[in-house]
Amino acid sequence: MKTFHLLLRAAVIFMCFLFYFQPTISAQEQDTVFRKFYGQFGLGPATPGGYNTVLGLTGVFKSNWTAGLTYQNIKYEPKNLPADYKPAYVETMPFMTEERKLYANLNCISFTGGRIFDLGRKFWFTTEAGLSLVFGEELTFTPQQVTGGLFESSSNYGVLRDNKTTVGGVLKADAKWAFATFMGLGAGVFTQFNSLQTSAGFQVNLFFGKAWRKKK
Protein backbone atom coordinates (compact mmCIF):
# COMPACT_ATOMS: atom_id res chain seq x y z
CA MET A 1 0.00 0.00 0.00
CA LYS A 2 2.97 2.34 0.36
CA THR A 3 3.36 2.28 -3.42
CA PHE A 4 -0.32 3.16 -3.84
CA HIS A 5 -0.10 6.14 -1.49
CA LEU A 6 3.01 7.45 -3.25
CA LEU A 7 1.33 7.17 -6.64
CA LEU A 8 -1.83 8.81 -5.34
CA ARG A 9 0.20 11.75 -4.04
CA ALA A 10 1.99 11.97 -7.38
CA ALA A 11 -1.37 12.03 -9.18
CA VAL A 12 -2.66 14.86 -6.96
CA ILE A 13 0.54 16.86 -7.50
CA PHE A 14 0.26 16.31 -11.25
CA MET A 15 -3.36 17.53 -11.21
CA CYS A 16 -2.35 20.69 -9.33
CA PHE A 17 0.56 21.26 -11.71
CA LEU A 18 -1.69 21.10 -14.77
CA PHE A 19 -4.33 23.32 -13.23
CA TYR A 20 -2.11 26.12 -11.97
CA PHE A 21 0.64 26.14 -14.58
CA GLN A 22 -1.28 26.35 -17.82
CA PRO A 23 0.13 28.73 -20.45
CA THR A 24 -0.69 32.31 -19.45
CA ILE A 25 -3.47 34.23 -21.13
CA SER A 26 -2.16 37.24 -23.08
CA ALA A 27 -3.79 40.64 -22.80
CA GLN A 28 -4.88 40.64 -26.43
CA GLU A 29 -6.02 37.04 -26.93
CA GLN A 30 -6.89 34.08 -24.78
CA ASP A 31 -4.19 31.88 -26.29
CA THR A 32 -4.34 28.78 -24.09
CA VAL A 33 -3.72 25.13 -24.81
CA PHE A 34 -7.13 24.13 -23.40
CA ARG A 35 -10.63 25.12 -24.50
CA LYS A 36 -11.88 23.74 -21.21
CA PHE A 37 -10.07 22.64 -18.10
CA TYR A 38 -11.99 21.31 -15.10
CA GLY A 39 -11.88 19.03 -12.09
CA GLN A 40 -14.77 16.85 -10.99
CA PHE A 41 -16.09 14.75 -8.14
CA GLY A 42 -18.59 11.97 -8.80
CA LEU A 43 -20.28 8.97 -7.21
CA GLY A 44 -22.77 6.28 -8.11
CA PRO A 45 -23.51 2.54 -8.24
CA ALA A 46 -21.03 -0.03 -9.58
CA THR A 47 -21.08 -3.73 -10.34
CA PRO A 48 -21.04 -6.23 -8.79
CA GLY A 49 -23.29 -4.98 -5.99
CA GLY A 50 -21.30 -1.93 -4.91
CA TYR A 51 -20.61 1.75 -5.52
CA ASN A 52 -17.84 4.05 -6.73
CA THR A 53 -16.42 7.50 -6.05
CA VAL A 54 -14.12 9.40 -8.39
CA LEU A 55 -11.89 12.49 -8.47
CA GLY A 56 -10.73 13.62 -11.88
CA LEU A 57 -9.15 16.30 -14.02
CA THR A 58 -9.92 16.84 -17.70
CA GLY A 59 -8.36 19.13 -20.29
CA VAL A 60 -10.03 19.76 -23.67
CA PHE A 61 -7.65 20.89 -26.40
CA LYS A 62 -8.59 23.29 -29.20
CA SER A 63 -8.47 20.31 -31.56
CA ASN A 64 -11.39 18.80 -29.56
CA TRP A 65 -9.23 15.97 -28.22
CA THR A 66 -9.25 15.42 -24.46
CA ALA A 67 -6.74 14.28 -21.83
CA GLY A 68 -7.73 13.09 -18.38
CA LEU A 69 -6.32 11.90 -15.08
CA THR A 70 -8.64 10.28 -12.52
CA TYR A 71 -8.52 8.49 -9.19
CA GLN A 72 -11.42 6.09 -8.65
CA ASN A 73 -12.36 3.92 -5.69
CA ILE A 74 -14.72 1.01 -6.36
CA LYS A 75 -16.26 -1.06 -3.57
CA TYR A 76 -17.84 -4.30 -4.75
CA GLU A 77 -19.12 -7.65 -3.53
CA PRO A 78 -16.34 -10.28 -3.67
CA LYS A 79 -16.92 -12.83 -6.41
CA ASN A 80 -15.85 -15.69 -4.11
CA LEU A 81 -18.24 -14.79 -1.28
CA PRO A 82 -19.40 -18.09 0.32
CA ALA A 83 -23.06 -18.95 -0.27
CA ASP A 84 -23.66 -19.36 3.48
CA TYR A 85 -21.83 -16.16 4.46
CA LYS A 86 -23.56 -14.17 7.21
CA PRO A 87 -22.36 -10.60 7.81
CA ALA A 88 -21.58 -9.15 11.20
CA TYR A 89 -24.27 -6.90 12.61
CA VAL A 90 -24.80 -4.38 15.38
CA GLU A 91 -28.06 -3.19 16.94
CA THR A 92 -28.11 0.59 16.57
CA MET A 93 -31.53 1.19 18.13
CA PRO A 94 -34.10 -1.04 19.82
CA PHE A 95 -35.42 -3.53 17.26
CA MET A 96 -33.16 -2.06 14.55
CA THR A 97 -30.00 -3.81 13.37
CA GLU A 98 -27.34 -2.68 10.93
CA GLU A 99 -25.50 -5.28 8.88
CA ARG A 100 -21.83 -4.62 8.22
CA LYS A 101 -21.79 -5.41 4.53
CA LEU A 102 -18.53 -6.79 3.23
CA TYR A 103 -16.87 -5.08 0.28
CA ALA A 104 -13.61 -5.58 -1.59
CA ASN A 105 -11.75 -2.52 -2.87
CA LEU A 106 -10.32 -1.40 -6.19
CA ASN A 107 -8.29 1.80 -6.33
CA CYS A 108 -7.62 2.90 -9.92
CA ILE A 109 -5.41 5.70 -11.23
CA SER A 110 -6.38 6.18 -14.87
CA PHE A 111 -4.78 8.08 -17.73
CA THR A 112 -7.23 8.64 -20.59
CA GLY A 113 -7.60 10.33 -23.94
CA GLY A 114 -10.71 10.94 -25.98
CA ARG A 115 -12.92 13.29 -27.93
CA ILE A 116 -15.45 16.02 -27.12
CA PHE A 117 -18.70 16.54 -29.02
CA ASP A 118 -20.45 19.89 -28.52
CA LEU A 119 -24.22 19.59 -28.19
CA GLY A 120 -24.94 23.30 -27.74
CA ARG A 121 -23.69 26.36 -25.90
CA LYS A 122 -23.99 24.73 -22.48
CA PHE A 123 -23.85 21.01 -23.23
CA TRP A 124 -21.21 18.58 -24.42
CA PHE A 125 -20.45 14.87 -24.52
CA THR A 126 -17.09 13.12 -24.14
CA THR A 127 -15.86 9.61 -24.86
CA GLU A 128 -12.54 8.41 -23.41
CA ALA A 129 -10.35 5.32 -23.24
CA GLY A 130 -7.08 4.65 -21.46
CA LEU A 131 -4.97 2.67 -19.06
CA SER A 132 -5.40 2.19 -15.32
CA LEU A 133 -2.92 1.34 -12.60
CA VAL A 134 -5.03 -0.80 -10.27
CA PHE A 135 -4.51 -1.52 -6.58
CA GLY A 136 -6.97 -4.15 -5.43
CA GLU A 137 -7.62 -6.98 -3.01
CA GLU A 138 -8.10 -10.71 -3.13
CA LEU A 139 -10.20 -11.98 -0.24
CA THR A 140 -9.81 -15.37 1.42
CA PHE A 141 -12.63 -16.68 3.63
CA THR A 142 -12.14 -19.00 6.61
CA PRO A 143 -15.07 -20.43 8.61
CA GLN A 144 -15.12 -19.25 12.21
CA GLN A 145 -17.33 -19.48 15.27
CA VAL A 146 -19.85 -16.68 15.59
CA THR A 147 -19.17 -14.50 18.63
CA GLY A 148 -20.92 -11.50 20.11
CA GLY A 149 -23.32 -10.30 22.73
CA LEU A 150 -26.89 -9.12 22.98
CA PHE A 151 -26.52 -6.18 20.60
CA GLU A 152 -23.90 -7.37 18.12
CA SER A 153 -22.58 -10.47 16.39
CA SER A 154 -19.53 -11.35 14.33
CA SER A 155 -19.63 -12.94 10.88
CA ASN A 156 -19.45 -16.70 10.48
CA TYR A 157 -16.35 -16.23 8.28
CA GLY A 158 -13.00 -14.61 8.93
CA VAL A 159 -11.59 -12.55 6.04
CA LEU A 160 -7.97 -12.22 4.93
CA ARG A 161 -7.26 -9.37 2.50
CA ASP A 162 -4.29 -9.79 0.17
CA ASN A 163 -3.23 -6.61 -1.66
CA LYS A 164 -2.58 -6.94 -5.40
CA THR A 165 -1.38 -4.57 -8.14
CA THR A 166 -2.06 -4.83 -11.85
CA VAL A 167 -2.58 -2.80 -15.02
CA GLY A 168 -5.95 -2.63 -16.76
CA GLY A 169 -8.04 -0.60 -19.16
CA VAL A 170 -10.87 1.89 -18.78
CA LEU A 171 -13.70 3.13 -21.02
CA LYS A 172 -15.79 6.20 -20.15
CA ALA A 173 -18.58 8.31 -21.60
CA ASP A 174 -19.88 11.50 -19.98
CA ALA A 175 -22.49 14.18 -20.67
CA LYS A 176 -21.94 17.63 -19.18
CA TRP A 177 -24.11 20.71 -18.59
CA ALA A 178 -22.34 23.99 -17.71
CA PHE A 179 -24.85 26.09 -15.78
CA ALA A 180 -22.05 28.63 -15.20
CA THR A 181 -18.72 29.43 -16.86
CA PHE A 182 -16.89 27.76 -13.98
CA MET A 183 -19.25 25.02 -12.76
CA GLY A 184 -21.70 22.40 -13.95
CA LEU A 185 -23.27 18.98 -13.54
CA GLY A 186 -22.64 15.75 -15.40
CA ALA A 187 -23.54 12.10 -15.64
CA GLY A 188 -21.72 9.20 -17.22
CA VAL A 189 -20.90 5.52 -17.41
CA PHE A 190 -17.62 3.63 -17.10
CA THR A 191 -16.03 0.21 -17.31
CA GLN A 192 -12.82 -0.73 -15.50
CA PHE A 193 -11.45 -4.06 -16.73
CA ASN A 194 -8.42 -5.86 -15.27
CA SER A 195 -7.32 -9.25 -13.98
CA LEU A 196 -8.56 -8.57 -10.42
CA GLN A 197 -12.16 -7.49 -11.08
CA THR A 198 -14.05 -6.01 -14.00
CA SER A 199 -16.54 -3.39 -12.85
CA ALA A 200 -19.02 -1.17 -14.68
CA GLY A 201 -21.13 1.62 -13.28
CA PHE A 202 -22.82 4.98 -13.41
CA GLN A 203 -21.79 8.35 -11.95
CA VAL A 204 -23.37 11.69 -11.22
CA ASN A 205 -20.73 14.39 -10.91
CA LEU A 206 -20.10 18.03 -10.12
CA PHE A 207 -17.36 19.74 -12.10
CA PHE A 208 -15.62 23.07 -11.67
CA GLY A 209 -12.86 25.02 -13.37
CA LYS A 210 -12.48 26.79 -16.69
CA ALA A 211 -15.47 25.21 -18.38
CA TRP A 212 -16.05 28.03 -20.85
CA ARG A 213 -19.36 27.93 -22.62
CA LYS A 214 -19.53 28.08 -26.38
CA LYS A 215 -20.30 31.58 -27.67
CA LYS A 216 -23.78 32.34 -28.98
Q: What pLDDT digit, counting tens, does each position of 21-74 carry?
A: 444 433 333 556 788 889 999 999 999 999 999 999 999 998 999 999 999 999
What are the chain's domains? Answer: 2-22+32-78+101-132+168-210 (2.40.160.20)
Distance CA 39, CA 178 (A): 13
Question: What digits encode the pLDDT tens for the residues 105-134?
Answer: 999 999 999 999 998 888 999 999 999 999
pTM over 0.85: no
Q: Identify whether the C-beta of residue 67 lies closer than 8 Å to the C-beta of residue 82.
A: no
**What is the CA 204 to chain-centroid distance, rounded?**
11
Q: Which residues of 27-37 are buried (b: 16+ CB within 10 A; e: fewer)?
A: eeeeebebbbb
Distance CA 184, CA 211 (A): 8
Residue 90: the pLDDT is: 75
